[in-house]
Structure 1
Amino acid sequence: MQKAVRALFLSTALLAAGPLAARAEVPNVVVSIKPIHSLVAAIMQGVGEPNLIVEGAASPHTYSLKPSNAAALQDADVVFWVGHGLEAFLEKPLEALGGNATVVELEDAPGLEKLHFREGGPFEAHEDEGEEGHEHAAEGHDHGKEAEEAHAHGEEAGHEGHEHGEFDMHLWLSPDNARAIAAETAKVLSEKDPANAEAYKANLASLNDKLAALDKEVAETVAPVKDKPFIVFHDAYQYFEHHYGVHAAGSITVSPETLPGAERLTQIRDKVKTLGATCVFAEPQFEPKLVNVVIEGTPAKSGTLDPEAATLEPGPDLYFTLMRSIATSLRDCLGQAS
C-alpha cells in the first residue's frame, strides 16, 4: 500500500513539473525595438515572452546600450533586430555574441519589400547641415541619406555585404512586411523550439488574420485624405505611404540624429507654402519646436506621428495600435486642411 501511495505521489509530482520543464526549454528571445517586439510577442503568445531592448520613448537612432541590455543579450538564445541601417548600437554587441545565439536580421526576411531612400529636394541632405557641425561621413556622395547613415555609424557605407543607407529601414510600417517578419519569426522559433512549433504556427495564422483586418481598416481610415500632401519630421513613413497611397512631400531632417540647418528649414517652409494648407508632423522623441518654425506664417496645421511606437506600451497589441494611430493622426490633421 505504501509503495502504491509513493508511486502515485511521484507520478503526480512529475505531471506537475511537466509544464515547468517545458517552459524552461522555451528559447530566451531578445528583440531590438517595440514594433518588431510586438510581432514577435504575438508569435510567442501562450509559449513565452520576448525581452525588449529599446524601451519607453527611446529611439533606436540615438540609443545607447544599457548594462541590463548587454546582460539580456548575453543570455539570449535568439535575437531579432531590423539590421545595420537602423540599430547601429547593436552591431558590436551582436558580434561579441559569436555563436552563442541565433541572430536574425529581419531586413533579410524572405518576401520583404525593401524601398530605397528617396532623394532630391525635400528628402535630400544639404550642405548647411554640415555647417551646423554635422559633417557627413561621405561628403559629396550622390546619396544624401547613405551619407547620413555612414555618419551615424562612424564609417563608410558597407558592412559585410550590407550597404548602409541603401534602403529605408522602417520596414514594419507596411502590413505586408509585418506578415513577412512574422513568418520569419515563426520559422526561426519553430526550428529553435520544435516542441512548440504547432503553437508558433497557430499564432502565425491568427496574426495574419488580424493583420488582414487591420490592413482593411487602415486603408478605409486614410482614404478620405489620400490626395493631401504633408511634411514629416524625418523620412520614416515611405512603406506606409507606398502601401496606402498617401503622400509625404518632404521631411524636416534627413535623419533624427542630424539637426537641420537654417537653409533646410527655409526650404521646407517654402515647400509648405507652395502646398497650401497642409500638415507638418512632429515625432514624440524629438524637438517639436522645429515644426513650429516650419509652419510659422503658413496656414499649415501641426500633428504628431509616432513611427517607432515611443508612446505605446509594448506587447502583442502594440503593432495594431501603432498603425491605427498613424492612420488616425493623418486623417484628423489632413481632414482639417482645405
Structure 2
Amino acid sequence: MIFFTSFCQAKIITSIKPLGFITEAIASGVSETDVLLPDGASPHTYSLKPSDLIKLNSADLIIWVGEDMETFMPSVLKDIDNNKTIELTEYPTIEALLKSGEKHGELNHADEHHAHHEHGRFDNHIWLSPKIAEISAQIIHDKLQKIYPQKAALLEQNLHDFLINLKQTEQNIAKKLNSVQNKGYFVFHDSYAYFEAQFNLNNLGSFTINPSIQPGLKKIYEIQKELKNRNAVCIFREPQFSPVIVNKLIDGTNVKVGELDPLGMDIVMTKDAYCKFLLKITQQLLNCLE
C-alpha cells in the first residue's frame, strides 16, 4: 500500500507514477516525491481536484512528460514559475529520441475519439524507454542540485546508483526476453514501442477499442481474423480492460491473453522502483509469450 505524503511534505510532484519511480531514485534522502495521478487514472483524461492544485502550488519542483500526454497540465502550470517545472519532452536530448506517433498496424474503426485523443505527433510513453529514463534521471539530478545545493553529494551518489542498477537491469531483461523475440502479439494500447525497440520484440499491431464499451460483431470478427492471419501468440490487455470483452475477442482462436501495466499501478515508490517496474513488464510479457 502506498502512503502519499501530505501537502506540506511533498516537495517534488510528478504527474504519473513511472516518473515518480525515476525521481524517487534520484531524490531519495533529499526530498519527498509525490505522484499527482491516482492509480488507474489516465494522464490523457484526468481532471484535477482542488487538493491537486494546492499540491502543485506548494511544490519545489513539478515533473511531467509533455502536453500531448498530460493534456490538463499546461493550463495549470501557466501561473507557476518555469524554473519549478520540468517538461521532459521539451529537452533536446529527449526530443532527439522521440519516436513518431504513427502507429504500426492499428486496426481502428471502433471509437474514433478514443483513438484520436491519445496520440500526438510523437509517442510520449517515454518512461518505457530505459535510454530516455537515463537521460531523465540526469535532467532531474541537475535540477535538484540547483534546488538543494547542500545535498549535492547525495544526489550524485543516487544518480550513480540508479545508472548502475538500470544498466544491470537492461542486461538482465535482454537475456530474459531473448527467447521470445520472434513470438508475435497484439496490444490494445500502443504504449510499448520504446521498450519493444530496445529489446527487439515482435508487436504485430494494436486494436484501439474503448475498454468500457462492448465491441460490435463486425469488430470482433475483424480482430479474430487478424489474430489468426498474423499467427499471434498473445494479446495484451491493460488492467482497466474488462476480461469479458477480451475473452470474446479470442473465442475460437489459440491466442492467450496477457496483462501489461504501463503505469506500474501496484509498484511501491522506493529507490529501486523503476527497475522493478521494467522487470515486472518483462515478466508479464514472458508469462504470456513463453
Correspondence for 1:106:
88
CA 124–224 in structure 1, closer or farther in 2 if over 3 Å, else same: same
Displacement of 1:259 after TM fit? 8.2
Does the aligned pair in 2 maintain the 1:282–1:291 contact within 8 Å? yes
Correspondence for 2:103:
119
Displacement of 1:191 after TM fit? 1.7
Describe the superposition over 1:14-49 as per-residue Cα deviations: whole angstroms up to 9, x where unpaired. Answer: xxxxxxxxxxxx992111111100111110111111
SS at match of 1:303: strand
Correspondence for 1:299:
254
Does the aligned pair in 1 maintain the 2:211–2:242 contact within 8 Å? no
**Equivalent residues, number:** 280
CA 256–209 in structure 1, closer or farther in 2 if over 3 Å, else same: farther
Does the aligned pair in 2 maintain the 1:235–1:254 contact within 8 Å? no
Gaps of 5+ in 2: 1-8
CA 61–269 in structure 1, closer or farther in 2 if over 3 Å, else same: farther
Distance between the aligned counterparts of 1:169 and 1:255, measured in 2?
Answer: 20
Distance between the aligned counterparts of 1:256 and 1:238, measured in 2?
Answer: 20
Correspondence for 1:251:
206
Alignment of 1:91 with 2:46, yes or no, is no
Alignment of 1:268 with 2:223, yes or no, is yes
Distance between the aligned counterparts of 1:57 and 1:125, measured in 2?
Answer: 23
Distance between the aligned counterparts of 2:187 and 2:72, measured in 1?
Answer: 25
CA 187–258 in structure 1, closer or farther in 2 if over 3 Å, else same: farther
Distance between the aligned counterparts of 1:334 and 1:27, measured in 2?
Answer: 40
Paired amino acid for 1:111 = T
Percent identity, aligned pairs only, is 34
Paired amino acid for 1:253 = T
SS at match of 1:230: strand
SS at match of 2:195: helix
TM-score by length of 2: 0.88
Distance between the aligned counterparts of 1:94 and 1:257, measured in 2?
Answer: 31
SS at match of 1:206: helix
- Counterparts of 1:192-211 in structure 2, within 5 Å, are 192-211=147-166
Larger Rg: 1
Q: Bigger shift: 232-241 or 282-291?
A: 282-291
Correspondence for 1:129:
111
Counterpart of 1:328 (choices 267, 283, 290) is 283
Alignment of 1:37 with 2:17, yes or no, is no
Correspondence for 1:318:
273
Gaps of 5+ in 1: 1-25, 137-144, 153-163
SS at match of 1:111: helix
CA 111–257 in structure 1, closer or farther in 2 if over 3 Å, else same: farther
CA 181–259 in structure 1, closer or farther in 2 if over 3 Å, else same: farther
Distance between the aligned counterparts of 1:192 and 1:294, measured in 2?
Answer: 51
Paired amino acid for 2:93 = G
Paired amino acid for 2:24 = A
Distance between the aligned counterparts of 1:33 and 1:329, measured in 2?
Answer: 21
Paired amino acid for 1:315 = T
Does the aligned pair in 1 maintain the 2:10–2:32 contact within 8 Å? no
Distance between the aligned counterparts of 1:50 and 1:215, measured in 2?
Answer: 25
CA 246–192 in structure 1, closer or farther in 2 if over 3 Å, else same: same
CA 296–256 in structure 1, closer or farther in 2 if over 3 Å, else same: closer
Alignment of 1:309 with 2:249, yes or no, is no
Paired amino acid for 1:33 = I
Root mean square deviation of aligned Cα = 2.5
